[in-house]
């Protein structure tokens, strides 16, 4: 019991025993998150490398496939994610001030924007199913380049689907951080969980920054090739 | 409150946000122009610029320790190795009359 009392006297709120002080603990958390993000970069990197290879093999099919994607919806979702990155950055900013209400407000906005993105994605996927552009499930194209077109749509669903899964996981994590924040866990000194969740959220935004031009905007040049 | 945690200020966040929105509009506009192969170059250049801005400011790497720089850099370095080695293989497959090269025709 004496140890317990000592713990509360000597340790700031949220500081684990193995760390010297709060900045060292936070630095470790950030470095740990970046280590995880390296694996994420290479995970999505595999998708992008596959895209690069097959696009260089079958440019016409990729232009055609891309021309069936909805640019206004894709652009809208790009804007939604950029705004959500701003609100996420603001939530982290408020956590540095230990401003509980600020964290909750900006996390709520971030969550709403994340859900907006997923709802738009739902409508896009529904349209693809309706038009029979889902390889293996509802596939209608019968032209000469149907297999190559299916390759484009496999990559489209693989990449945007895995990105959407990351968004869903992100919203789950957001709810967890929100509940912790509502309980008053985070202070101006202890806020590493908000910070590293922010890193995850921004990473998912960056993936979309590359997906949007590579998948959606490509088809505008279909006539030029 | 004074900015005592060496992170970006709200003003910087808003400037970053405005740049990202501008670059998004620019990438859509450029996609409508006929630039041949340069459409890809410009689109990827803009996407890389946007990603760099997000990493430096929203993800605080500009204000972070050198160890964090090292980790972020390592991720990008290994991504480039992945692309370079994969493409070096696939692009060069048809160059020599190897037994399997007819599969690519």
Specify which residues A127 forms β-bridges with: none
CA distance A193 to chain B (A): 14
Confidence band of A98 (pLDDT split at 50, 70, 90): very high
The mean of the pLDDT values for chain A is: 92
Whether A158 is covered by a domain: the verdict is: yes
Q: Which two tokens stand for residue A62?
A: 């990729």
Helix ranges (H only) for A58-99 are 59-67, 71-96
Whether A3 is covered by a domain: the verdict is: no
Q: Do A45 and B83 lie within an 8 Å CB cutoff? A: yes
Whether A7 is covered by a domain: the verdict is: no
Reported as a single tens digit per residue, the pLDDT across A179-190 is 999 999 999 999
Q: What is the pLDDT of residue B90?
A: 87
From first to last of its 105 residues, what are the pLDDT tens digits of chain B? 344 456 789 999 999 999 999 999 999 999 999 888 889 899 999 999 999 999 999 999 999 999 999 999 999 999 999 999 999 988 887 787 666 656 655
* Chain B contact for A83 (CB, 8 A cutoff): yes
Beta strands in B1-105 (DSSP E): none
Q: What are phi and psi of A20, to 5 degrees?
A: -70, -50
Using an 8 Å CB-CB cutoff, list chain B residues near A89.
8, 13, 16, 57-58
**Over residues A90-108, mean pLDDT:** 96
Option in A41, A49, A224 nearest B86 (CB) = A49
A37-47 burial, b if ≥16 CB within 10 A, otherwise e? Answer: bbebbeebbeb
Option in A88, A210, A224 nearest B34 (CB) = A224
Q: Do A41 and B78 lie within an 8 Å CB cutoff? A: yes
Q: Which two tokens stand for residue A149?
A: 């077109």
Please tell me which residue, A220 or A31, carries the higher pLDDT value: A31
Option in A56, A83, A85 nearest B54 (CB) = A85
A107-130 burial, b if ≥16 CB within 10 A, otherwise e? Answer: bebbbebbbbbeebbeebbeebee
ipTM of the complex as predicted: 0.89
Looking at chain A, which residue has its C-alpha nearest residue B20?
A82
Q: What is the pLDDT of residue A9?
A: 54
Per DSSP, A133 falls in state E
Q: What is the pLDDT of residue B3?
A: 41
Reported as a single tens digit per residue, the pLDDT across A16-32 is 888 988 889 999 999 99
Q: What is the pLDDT of residue B91?
A: 83
Q: What is the pLDDT of residue A180?
A: 97
Whether A10 is covered by a domain: the verdict is: no
Using an 8 Å CB-CB cutoff, list chain A residues near B57.
89
How far apart CA A199 and CA A184 sit, in angstroms, is 21
Whether A172 is covered by a domain: the verdict is: yes
Looking at chain A, which residue has its C-alpha nearest residue B92?
A53
How far apart CA A143 and CA A117 sit, in angstroms, is 33
Q: What is the pLDDT of residue A124?
A: 97
Domain containing A57: what range? Answer: 21-222
Whether A6 is covered by a domain: the verdict is: no
pLDDT for residue A7 is more than 60: no
Whether A12 is covered by a domain: the verdict is: no
Reported as a single tens digit per residue, the pLDDT across A65-93 is 999 999 999 999 999 999 999 999 999 99
Q: Decide: residue A183, CB within 10 A, 0-12 exposed, 13-18 middle, 19+ buried.
A: exposed
Option in A31, A75, A202 nearest B58 (CB) = A202
Residue labelled with tokens 């998912």? A204
Using an 8 Å CB-CB cutoff, list chain A residues near B8.
89, 93
Please say whether the beta carbons of A44 and A131 come within 8 A: no
Helix axes A192-211, A22-57, angle to 10 degrees: 10
How far apart CA A68 and CA A61 sit, in angstroms, is 11
Q: What is the pLDDT of residue B98?
A: 65
Q: What is the pLDDT of residue A198?
A: 98
CATH of the domain at A29: 1.20.120.80
Per DSSP, A185 falls in state -
pLDDT for residue A224 is more than 60: no
Q: What is the pLDDT of residue B95?
A: 80
Q: In total, how many domains does chain A have? A: 1
* Chain B contact for A23 (CB, 8 A cutoff): no
CA distance B14 to chain A (A): 8
Specify which residues A133 forms β-bridges with: A139
Please say whether the beta carbons of B43 and B33 come within 8 A: no
Q: Do A93 and B13 lie within an 8 Å CB cutoff? A: yes
């Amino acid at each position: 019991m004496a140890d317990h009392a000592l713990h509360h006297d000597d340790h700031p709120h949220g500081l684990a025993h193995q760390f010297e002080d709060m900045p060292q603990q936070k630095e470790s958390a950030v470095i740990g998150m970046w280590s995880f993000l390296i694996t994420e970069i290479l995970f999505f990197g595999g998708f992008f490398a596959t895209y690069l290879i097959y696009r260089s093999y079958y440019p016409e099919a990729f232009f055609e496939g891309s021309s069936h994607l909805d640019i206004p919806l894709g652009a809208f979702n790009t804007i939604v994610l950029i705004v959500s990155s701003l609100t996420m950055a603001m939530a982290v900013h408020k956590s540095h001030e230990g401003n509980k209400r600020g964290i909750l407000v900006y996390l709520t906005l971030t969550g709403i924007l994340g859900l907006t993105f997923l709802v738009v994605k739902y409508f896009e996927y529904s349209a693809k199913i309706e038009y029979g552009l889902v390889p293996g499930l509802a596939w209608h194209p019968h032209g000469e380049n149907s297999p190559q077109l299916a390759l484009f749509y496999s990559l489209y669903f693989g990449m945007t689907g895995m990105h959407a899964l990351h968004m869903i996981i992100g919203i789950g994590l957001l709810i967890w951080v929100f509940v912790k924040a509502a309980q008053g866990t985070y202070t101006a000194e202890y806020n590493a969980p908000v910070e590293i969740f922010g890193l995850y959220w921004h990473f998912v935004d960056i993936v979309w920054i590359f997906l949007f031009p590579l998948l959606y905007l490509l088809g505008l040049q279909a006539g030029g090739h | 409150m004074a900015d005592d945690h060496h992170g970006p200020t709200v003003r910087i966040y808003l400037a970053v946000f405005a740049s990202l929105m501008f670059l998004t509009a620019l990438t859509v506009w450029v996609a409508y122009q006929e630039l041949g192969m340069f459409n890809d170059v410009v689109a990827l250049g803009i996407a890389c610029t946007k990603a760099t801005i997000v990493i430096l400011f929203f993800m605080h790497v500009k204000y972070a320790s050198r160890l964090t720089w090292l980790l972020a850099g390592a991720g990008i370095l290994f991504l480039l190795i992945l692309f370079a080695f994969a493409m070096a293989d696939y692009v060069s497959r048809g160059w020599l009359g190897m037994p399997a090269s007819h599969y690519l025709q």
